[in-house]
């Protein structure tokens, strides 16, 4: 009974950690619509608010590793829950823009620490043959959290100051995770001796070999300095190369940005009303959830290396296809967020953000929903690609201050004709209508990309990172790689539109395809298979190989 309880609670901690991460990344898309009207946010302020989570997460990845290694994984998760509760309360009660920024930075710090500690804690708590499934639950939690945030965005969209409820509801899963982990034993690798609590919590989950290996591990735990990550001792330099390679290729294969144009593709194949566009976005999220469940089932059977390589191959083919089809059926991409929102900006977005009052209203709900789906940089961790770009397209600034009934009729008529001036060419005119088959190929390619990422890079990167480092430096090493993940994410997000201006949309995606081929080569040469091995066996395997 004790063994089963530990197994269930470990899974709950992993799932809830991911759910909180995905929820916080997804909820801002709907909240920003209302915040823009309530606080008269300019483009710059919107970008600051969205980037605040990134900044908090980056700070956490620099400092969180020390917290995780020195004070233990379990305590780090408990602290992150308390910080998240504080951040959520700040956001819920905020009355000024600077308070919102502080709240989002606090939340970003909390979810980043939690994401690292959850993966490491669960990987150390369970047996080798269950590790892939339970650590991958984190990624599944992220996708579920994002879908939940879409649903709540929709529910609270018409409510006055609904954004307060959106931010405040994050308290519930954080409290549940806090209570779940209170019943779990202290992380075994942080114990100086093999005590009875650890035997009751860990040993029943593991077979005879795992028992022997785990029992030896606390006694043999080595101490490492941060600089050992770059030295040849125990082949640490190669482990660092593997970790950094995985997180950087996870970003540079285009996953932060591919879904930024999901709404354009949905509209091009006929999803032109609000409800159908939202349905398509949620459908894309559902595809991601299913793919993540497949990855969970296969992680301990097919193996990490196989799933990483297979996912990379499909991703490379998908983005290359999108690049080629966009050359034949060009998608006219424009910067949507240029003018500042003036004091006379219409508040109709607050009351009816999903009704077609404005010419671009049919577009508005889509980008946040489809864009946020991308999350999935595992713990993270990627989810934040240019959220700014996605959100920017949500609120085109060509807002009619107080439209008269006649103006509304004119605008409604324009929207029916598909004249979405602020975001691109008329949808009913060339080149969109002439390339129906190519547009559907693009849509299917995007769904294949989402599925491949959710099976490969999404969950497997963080699973491998939680396995390949020795216990004494695992927290700092994970945090070091994670900081590169956030930094690369920020770089990709900020440079995306400039690169499109410089080399064009199709060449950008062909470049992503080339990066996918390079990622497959890297994984084939450098990343070993770790399925079915205890953490100590993986450590010994790395120590031996040069």
> What span, in angstroms and rounded, lies between the C-alpha atoms of 417 and 219?
72
Q: How far apart are CA 228 and CA 239, in angstroms?
A: 11
pLDDT digits (tens, 9 = 90+) for 405-425: 344 334 444 443 333 333 344
Of 122, 112, 111, 28, the C-alpha closest to 74 is 122
pLDDT at 514: 95
Is residue 542 within 8 A of residue 243, CB to CB? The reply is: no
* 8 A C-beta contact, residue 385 and residue 374: yes
Tokens of 156: 């609270």
pLDDT in tens, 141-166: 998 998 888 888 888 888 888 999 99
Mean pLDDT of 393-411: 38
Environment class of residue 19 by beta-carbon count within 10 Å: exposed (0-12), middle (13-18) or buried (19+)?
A: buried
For residues 90-111, average pLDDT: 95
pLDDT band at 428 (very low <50, low <70, confident <90, very high): very low
Whole-number Å distance between alpha carbons of 383 and 488: 12
Task: List pLDDT tens digits, range 339-374.
Answer: 333 333 333 333 333 323 222 323 333 333 333 333
CB 454, CB 288: distance < 8 Å = yes
Across the range 69-80, mean pLDDT stands at 90
Neighbours of 421 (CB within 10 A): 12
Sign of the Cα torsion 418, 424, 429, 432 reads: negative
| Nearest CA-CA partner of 390 in 300, 502, 257, 301 | 257
Higher per-residue pLDDT: 162 or 279: 162
Residue with tokens 């063994």: 3
- The pLDDT of residue 117 is 92
Residue from 483, 392, 350, 488 nearest 50 by CA: 392
Closest CA to 518 of 121, 323, 251: 251
How crowded is the C-beta side of 24, counted as CA atoms within 13 Å? 39
**d(C-alpha 204, C-alpha 125), whole Å:** 11
Mean predicted lDDT score pLDDT of the chain: 75
Round to the nearest angstrom and report the end-to-end CA distance of the chain: 43
Alpha carbon distance 185, 545 (integer Å)? 34
CA 454, CA 139: separation in Å to the nearest integer? 8
Alpha carbon 125 to its chain centroid, in Å, reads: 24
Q: What is the CA radius of gyration of the chain?
A: 23
- Write down the pLDDT at residue 29: 78
Q: Rounded to an integer, what distance in angstroms lies between the CA atom of residue 308 and that of residue 322?
A: 21
% pLDDT > 70, the chain:
69
pLDDT above 90 (res 113):
yes
Note the pLDDT of residue 491. Answer: 83
Q: What's the pLDDT tens digit per position in 205-227?
A: 444 554 555 455 444 557 777 78
**Which domains, ranges and CATH numbers included, belong to the chain?**
7-185 (1.20.1250.20), 228-331+433-545 (1.20.1250.20)
Distances (CA, A) of 235 to 70, 213, 469, 539, 542: 23, 20, 10, 10, 6
Alpha-carbon distances of 86 from 65, 102, 149, rounded to whole Å:
21, 11, 20
Mark out the alpha helices in 385-456 (DSSP H runs). Answer: 387-394, 405-416, 436-455
Tokens of 530: 């770790």
């Amino acid at each position: 009974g004790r063994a089963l309880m530990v197994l269930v609670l470990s899974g709950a901690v992993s799932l809830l950690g991911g759910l909180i991460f995905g929820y916080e990344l997804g909820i801002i898309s709907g909240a920003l619509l209302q915040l823009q009207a309530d606080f008269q946010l300019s483009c710059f302020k919107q970008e600051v608010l969205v980037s605040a989570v990134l900044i908090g997460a980056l700070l956490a990845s620099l400092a969180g590793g020390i917290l995780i290694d020195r004070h233990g994984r379990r305590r780090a998760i408990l602290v992150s829950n308390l910080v998240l509760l504080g951040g959520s309360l700040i956001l819920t009660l905020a009355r000024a823009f600077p308070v919102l920024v502080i709240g989002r930075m606090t939340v970003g710090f909390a979810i980043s620490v939690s994401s690292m500690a959850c993966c490491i804690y669960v990987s150390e708590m369970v047996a080798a043959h269950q590790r892939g499934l339970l650590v991958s639950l984190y990624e599944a939690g992220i996708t579920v959290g994002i879908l939940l945030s879409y649903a709540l965005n929709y529910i609270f969209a018409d409510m006055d100051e609904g954004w307060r409820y959106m931010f405040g509801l994050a308290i519930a899963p954080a409290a549940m995770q806090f209570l779940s982990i209170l019943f779990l034993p202290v992380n075994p690798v942080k114990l100086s001796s093999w005590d009875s609590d650890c035997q009751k919590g860990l040993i029943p989950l593991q077979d005879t070999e795992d028992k022997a290996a785990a029992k030896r591990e606390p006694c043999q735990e080595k101490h490492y300095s941060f600089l050992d990550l770059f030295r040849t001792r125990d082949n640490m330099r190669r482990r660092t190369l593997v970790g950094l390679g995985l997180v950087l290729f996870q970003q540079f294969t285009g996953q932060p940005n591919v879904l930024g144009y999901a709404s354009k593709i949905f509209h091009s194949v006929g999803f032109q009303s609000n409800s159908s566009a939202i349905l398509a976005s949620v459908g894309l999220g559902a595809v991601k959830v299913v793919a993540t469940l497949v990855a969970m089932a296969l992680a301990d059977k097919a193996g990490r290396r196989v799933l990483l390589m297979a996912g990379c191959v499909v991703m490379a083919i998908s983005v290359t296809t999108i690049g080629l089809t966009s050359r034949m059926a060009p998608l006219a991409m424009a910067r949507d967020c240029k003018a500042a929102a003036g004091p006379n900006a219409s508040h109709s977005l607050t009351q009816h953000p999903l009704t077609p009052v404005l010419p671009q209203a049919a577009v508005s709900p889509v980008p946040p929903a489809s864009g946020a789906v991308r999350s999935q940089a595992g713990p993270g961790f990627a989810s934040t690609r240019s959220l700014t770009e996605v959100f920017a397209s949500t609120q085109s600034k060509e807002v009619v201050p107080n439209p008269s009934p006649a103006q509304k009729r004119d605008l409604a008529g324009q929207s029916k004709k598909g004249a979405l001036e602020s975001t691109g060419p008329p949808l009913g005119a060339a080149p969109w209508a002439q390339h129906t088959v190519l547009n559907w190929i693009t849509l299917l390619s995007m769904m294949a990309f989402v599925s491949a990422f959710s099976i490969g890079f999404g969950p497997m990167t963080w699973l491998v990172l939680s396995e390949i480092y020795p216990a004494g430096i695992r927290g700092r090493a994970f945090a070091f790689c994670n900081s590169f993940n956030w930094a690369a994410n920020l770089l990709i997000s900020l440079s995306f539109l400039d690169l499109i201006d410089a080399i064009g949309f199709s060449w950008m995606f062909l470049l992503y395809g080339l990066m996918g081929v390079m990622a497959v080569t890297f994984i084939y040469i450098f990343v070993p298979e770790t399925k079915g091995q205890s953490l100590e066996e993986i450590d010994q395997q790395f120590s031996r190989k040069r």
